[in-house]
């Protein structure tokens, strides 16, 4: 028997992860090259619109990985995870608003247009500091993290689990939706934040900026994957799965289950926040619609379709579903919700482990093996 079989380098036993990261690395360089270097009339040219669309998918993929961490691995079915994404998006949006400066309709150097419109005369305290990029980036992580900390602390300490937890997370995102709709809250009401001009001095409409944002989305997705992979292959990752499978047992062997749930929940919310911050400059708008309870449910469907507890499965699900959505909402706008519901039903009934699970099953069948080989097996 080999000694120390658990010091697993995170990609050593992770074939799917290797493929996933390789695809991302290739896309990350090839797509920008095909956009910037290939002439627009060439067959191989990738239009900027497509680059941005792909960037948007990648930020969704990051959000899906964040949810997989808490749902797939820890068994916490959060139905409010899009709220953390939206909060990160708003923090980024606030920075972008402040960058507009006097180029707004009212030409006010300090106040965003919607505040001038509300006859406000000075910037509210919570908008202070957002003109500084570094400050806004800290808020992108801190605000979702703090909300998750407070919410999770209350919920996990009270041992709220299962369906009840899912319901209160829905309530959380719904409450935020209603709050952000209010003009008086100072986040632009139902119009949200939009008409952004530039980021760090670079024009948001320029091809190079858009391609850079795409590149960064891919980069952050890879980093997120590495981080999550490190976590789930650590002992903490094994504890988290243990909590999912036998919460009481975990508690009675001496783990403070609440702390572990809180830690993973907060981390996941922070990742969702970063994903939101990457999303907003690419789509050019953030509004309360992002808090819609339906968004969080859709997110769960992405992860279920891709395959839970694999990380890359969640990312794959996000891309598949959103690609279908882009296609279907254009071709047959009224069928999208039905298609999504149908897809979800099919997946839960016929492939409970999602696309990745199905693929693994087929691979095993082709190799003529019946039993899956235990992970981490060492000869």
Partner 1 sequence: MRRDKVFDFVEQKRLPFSGRRTVIPGEIDVTHGPILYLENISVSFDGFKALNDLTLYINDGELRCIIGPNGAGKTTMMDVITGKTRPDTGSAYFGQTMDLTRMSEYQIAHAGIGRKFQKPTIFPQHTIFENLELAMAADKRVWPTLFAKINTAQHEKIIEVMDTIGLTELCYERAAQLSHGQKQWLEIGMLLMQNPRVLLVDEPVAGMTHQEMDKTAELLKSLAGKHSVVVVEHDMDFVRSIASTVTVLHEGSVLAEGTMDEVQNNPKVIEVYLGE
Nearest to 232 by CA among 221, 244, 220: 244
* CB of 4 or CB of 119, closer to partner 1: 4
Structure tokens at 233: 């292959």
Instruction: Using DSSP, state whether 308 is helix, strand or coil.
Output: coil
Residue closer to partner 1 (CB basis): 16 or 129: 16
Tokens describing residue 239? 């504890």
Would you tell me the crossing angle of helices 15-36 and 312-331 to the nearest 10 degrees?
50
Whose Cβ is closer to partner 1: residue 14's or residue 298's? 14
DSSP label at residue 45: P
Considering the complex, state which of residue 249 and residue 365 has its C-beta at the smaller distance from partner 1.
Answer: 249
Shortest distance, position 69 Cβ to partner 1, whole Å: 13
Minimum distance of partner 1 from residue 378's CB (angstroms): 7
Report whether 265 contacts 148 (CB < 8 A): yes
- Distance CA(18)–CA(16), nearest Å, equals 5
Residue corresponding to tokens 């406000």: 120
Task: Confirm if 71 and 77 have CB atoms less than 8 A apart.
Answer: yes
* Nearest CB to partner 1, comparing residues 5 and 342: 5
CB of 370 to partner 1, least distance (A): 12
d(CA 55, CA 34): 15
The nearest distance, CB 270 to partner 1, in angstroms, is 15
**Least distance to partner 1, CB of residue 377, Å:** 5
CB of 104 to partner 1, least distance (A): 46
**Are 190 and 288 spatial neighbours (Cβ–Cβ below 8 Å)?**
yes
Specify the residue, 98 or 308, whose C-beta has the smaller distance to partner 1: 308
- Per CB under 8 A, residues contacting partner 1 are 1, 3-7, 231, 234-236, 238-239, 241-242, 245-246, 248-257, 259-260, 263, 374-378
Q: Which two tokens stand for residue 358?
A: 């199905």
């Amino acid at each position: 028997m080999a000694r120390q079989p658990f010091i697993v380098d995170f990609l050593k036993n992770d074939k799917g992860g290797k493929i996933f990261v390789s695809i991302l690395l290739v896309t990350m360089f090839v797509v920008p090259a095909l956009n910037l270097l290939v002439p627009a009339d060439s067959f191989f040219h990738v239009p900027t619109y497509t680059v941005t669309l792909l960037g948007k998918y990648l930020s969704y993929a990051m959000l899906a990985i964040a949810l997989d961490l808490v749902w797939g691995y820890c068994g916490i079915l959060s139905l409010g995870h899009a709220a953390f994404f939206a909060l990160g998006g708003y923090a980024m949006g606030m920075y972008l608003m402040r960058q507009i400066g006097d180029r707004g309709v009212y030409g006010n150097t300090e106040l965003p247009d919607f505040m001038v419109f509300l006859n406000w005369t000075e910037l509210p305290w919570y908008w202070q500091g957002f003109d500084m990029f570094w400050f806004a980036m800290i808020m992108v992580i801190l605000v979702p993290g703090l909300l998750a900390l407070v919410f999770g602390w209350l919920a996990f300490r009270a041992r709220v689990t299962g369906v009840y937890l899912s319901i209160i997370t829905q309530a959380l995102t719904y409450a935020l939706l209603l709050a952000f709709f209010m003009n008086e809250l100072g986040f632009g009401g139902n119009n949200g934040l939009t008409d952004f001009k530039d980021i760090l001095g670079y024009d948001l409409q320029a091809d190079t900026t858009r391609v850079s944002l795409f590149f960064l989305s891919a980069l952050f997705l890879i980093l997120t994957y590495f981080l999550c992979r490190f976590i789930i292959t650590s002992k903490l990752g094994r504890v988290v799965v243990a909590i999912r499978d036998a919460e009481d047992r975990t508690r009675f062997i001496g783990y403070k289950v609440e702390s572990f749930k809180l830690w993973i929940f907060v981390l996941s919310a922070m990742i969702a926040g970063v994903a939101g911050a990457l999303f907003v400059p690419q789509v050019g708008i953030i509004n309360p619609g992002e808090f819609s309870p339906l968004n969080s449910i859709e997110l769960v469907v992405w992860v279920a379709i891709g395959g839970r507890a694999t990380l890359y499965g969640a990312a794959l699900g996000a891309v598949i579903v959103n690609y279908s959505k882009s296609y279907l909402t254009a071709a047959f706008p009224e069928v999208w919700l039905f298609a999504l519901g149908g897809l979800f039903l099919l997946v839960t009934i016929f492939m409970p482990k999602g696309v990745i699970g199905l693929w693994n099953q087929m691979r095993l069948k082709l190799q003529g093996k019946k039993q899956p080989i235990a992970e981490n097996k060492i000869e």
